[in-house]
Amino acid sequence: MPRRSLARLYKDEFSNYSLAKFQQDLLAGLTVAAVALPLALAFGVASGATAAAGLVTAILAGIIMGALGGAPYQISGPTGAMSAVLIVLVSRYGLEGIWIAGLLSGLILLVIGLMRLGRFIAFIPAPVISGFTSGIALIIFIGQIDNFLGVKTPGTETAAQKFIGYFNSPLSFDWQTIVLGLIVIGTMLFWPAKWSARFPASLLGIILATLLNYALNWSAPMIGVIPRTLFLADHLSLAHIPFSNLSDFITPTLTITALGAVESLLCGAVGSNMTGVRLQANQELIAQGVGNMVIPFFGGVPATAAIARSSVGIKSGGQTRMVSIIHAVGILLSMFLLTPFMERIPLAALAGVLMVTAVRMNEWDAIKFMFGNRFKTDMIAFTITMLATIVLDLTQAILLGTFLAGAVFLNKIASIDINVQEVDIERLKQKGIETEGKCKHVRVAFLTGPLFFAATGQFNEAFSNLGDTHALILSMRGVSLIDTAGLESIHRLYERLQKQGGTLMFAGVHDNARNMMERGGLVDLIGEENFFWSSDQAIVEAERRGCQFCSSSLTLG
């Protein structure tokens, strides 16, 4: 099935492919390569690996994930979010541990895609994703303070501990690295956007900082040697995989898997909004899985689809997945042709790139919407997830934020509105419905919301005092969900009415609710004759059958 899906995607993309479209893809691919090159170098270093590892990751991800991806606009590589995760995991497990975790996460992503379970990734609430993204942005920013200031502070388990450490002991700043970092930051902030489309501000900033460092013979730390090969000396090998201890890598594997899936599908959602082309989520997860299973054996780090690169490709007029492949080839050529220059890039310059990237990666529109409109639930979920991301393990942060948002959401939807009304004879007459109007013991209850286990308490309380009701009509057009607990509550209500000689009737039952009631045997028990299209029809039928009680009115508790 996935192969047919991929074949369909290729057919849609390349059925009318022409030289003109290839030229558009070529230009877009080279533009993306110019943007991706400094990011690959920066994210390779920021992940705890090397600049070369970042280049290898960008090249292989661009080719493998681009060729197998679920949409023509997806461009993958090392990302800020993934580097923030990896820098923490590298300190605990080392590079070999991350390669193993990357391999296992790739396998899980592949299985999720093959089993067509991609839609479940979308169940993570938006405030949790925004909070996680902001937390990762803080991790990236804090992680680059050392290179920006030209200092070396002890490694810590979390970004929060790292940040607090700067205030616990005096530091001797290097003004040269600060100047180099500020040159890049200033270039990225003030270089006009229309010019950046032709020449990326991040690349220009790095060039300026590198030339200044070289011309003035400053001693700022640099990237260092970059091997001119795709097959790095440090890489994963089958012989070093500890098959007997794979359980030790469950936590980093789940972290990389969750982040890879979420970020790739979010990138697809952004690309879909920009192009109108729908992302095939399961095929995208297959691509991410295969890519992340291959990359560790070349010495690269786990990759995901990148919003920045994908959006640049779209805005540059890219037509097909050839953009991703061309961008990878462009970086590959740079790796062989520009290595002498790239080896002299100051780490402070890369720090400037990452700091600006960290600030920009926040979902500012979503944050402004949440806090500007004071959506308290979303604000709490966002804040807790963000703080948990920099204080706790990243997997725990995702689980905590999702649990919190899920609990609040469950509390919201658990409320069912039940409005019990007397029969309005005048309203019925205005609608042309004639009734005798002599029965005062017909009541209509309008239900809105799901009738499931969390709402049955309200349901039972609403009908705790039935009095001398002759016919109770449940108008259920607003009830699209019933579970077994809801069926039991309706069953008990029916039995209570039966004991006092009353009748339970239904109006406007939703198809989903009707199917559940049929499966639970309630339709057969209550009788098909007690189900109506509208409450008006049910009222007329209740009066036609005649009232057994004509005394006092009912007051429902």
Q: How many other C-beta atoms lie within 10 A of the C-beta of residue 13?
A: 17
Q: What is the pLDDT of residue 4?
A: 52
Indicate if the pLDDT at residue 398 is higher than 70: no
Place of tokens 């730390």: 221
DSSP 160-204: HHHHHHTTTS-----HHHHHHHHHHHHHHHHS-HHHHTTS-HHHH
Output the pLDDT for position 430: 55
**% of the chain beyond a pLDDT of 90:** 47
- Is the pLDDT confidence value at 208 over 60? yes
Residue 270 has pLDDT above 60, yes or no: yes
* Matching residue, tokens 């790796």: 335
Q: Is the model more confident about 75 or about 165?
A: 75
Tell me: pLDDT of 546 over 80. no
The pLDDT confidence band at residue 378, using thresholds 50, 70 and 90, is confident
| The predicted structure's pLDDT at residue 143 | 87
Distance between CA atoms of residues 436 and 546, nearest Å:
10
How far is it, in rounded angstroms, from Cα 73 to Cα 323?
8
Bridge-based pairing state of the strands 442-448 and 417-422? antiparallel
State the average pLDDT over residues 106-133: 83
Q: Confidence band (pLDDT; 50, 70, 90) for 17? A: very high
Alpha helices in 15-151 (DSSP H): 19-46, 51-68, 80-114, 126-143, 145-149
Please state the separation of Cα 186 from the chain's center in Å.
31
Tell me whether strands 471-478 and 503-507 are parallel, antiparallel or unpaired: parallel
Q: What pLDDT score does 175 carry?
A: 94
At position 352, the amino acid (one-letter code) is G
What's residue 286's pLDDT? 96
The pTM of this model reads 0.74
Stretch 1-7: mean pLDDT: 63
pLDDT digits (tens, 9 = 90+) for 57-94: 999 999 999 999 999 999 999 998 888 888 878 888 88
Chain center to CA of 58: 22
Looking at residue 83, its pLDDT comes to 87
- Residues 453-458: contacts with CB under 8 Å, at least 24 apart: 453/483, 453/485, 453/486, 454/410, 454/413, 454/414, 455/414, 455/415, 455/416, 455/486, 456/485, 456/486, 456/488, 456/489, 458/415, 458/416, 458/418
SS3 percent helix, strand, coil of the chain, rounded to 5, is 65, 5, 30
- Report the largest interatomic distance among the alpha carbons of the chain, rounded to a whole angstrom: 103
Write down the residue that tokens 């979420």 correspond to: 262
The two beta strands, 471-478 and 442-448, are parallel
Angle 438-533-430 from CA coordinates, rounded to 5°: 50
Residue-level pLDDT at 119? 72
Which of the four pLDDT bands, split at 50, 70 and 90, describes residue 112?
very high
Residue 97 has pLDDT above 70, yes or no: yes
Residue that the structure tokens 């991929």 belong to: 6
With contact defined as beta carbons under 8 Å apart, do 314 and 254 qualify? no
Q: Which domains does the chain have, with CATH numbers?
A: 2-409 (no CATH), 417-545 (3.30.750.24)
**Statement: residue 494 has pLDDT above 90:** yes
Residue with tokens 């809801």: 486
Q: Which long-range contacts (CB under 8 A, 24 or more apart) does 362-368 make?
A: 362/133, 362/134, 362/137, 363/129, 363/130, 363/133, 363/134, 366/126, 366/127, 366/130, 367/130, 367/134
Give 245: exposed, middle or buried? Use CB within 10 Å, 0-12, 13-18, 19+: exposed
Residue matched to tokens 């930051």: 185
Burial per residue of 115-146, b for 16 or more beta-carbon CB atoms within 10 angstroms, e otherwise: eeebeebeebbbbbbbbbbbbbbbbbbbbbbb
DSSP annotation of 473 reads E
In angstroms, rounded to a whole number, what is the distance separating the alpha carbons of residues 83 and 499? 68
Choice among 118-122, 273-277, 349-353 with the minimum mean pLDDT:
118-122
Nearest Cα residue to 505 out of 486, 521, 524, 528? 528
Residue type, 471: A
DSSP states along 421-453:
EE--HHHHHHTT---------EEEEEEES-BST
**Are 326 and 75 a contacting pair, CB within 8 Å?**
no
Are the beta carbons of 80 and 306 closer than 8 angstroms?
no
Note the Cα 272 to chain centre separation in Å: 14
Q: Are 135 and 387 in contact (CB under 8 A)?
A: yes
**In 3-state terms, what secondary structure has residue 503?**
strand
- Rounded to the nearest integer, the mean pLDDT of the chain is 86
Q: What is the pLDDT of residue 554?
A: 38
The pLDDT of residue 557: 35
Averaged pLDDT for residues 150-165: 85
Work out the percent of the chain whose per-residue pLDDT is above 70.
91
Placement of tokens 């959602």 in the chain = 269
Q: What is the DSSP string of 299-349?
A: T----EE-HHHHHHHHHTT--STHHHHHHHHHHHHHHHHSHHHHTT-BHHH
- R_g of the chain, CA atoms, integer Å: 31
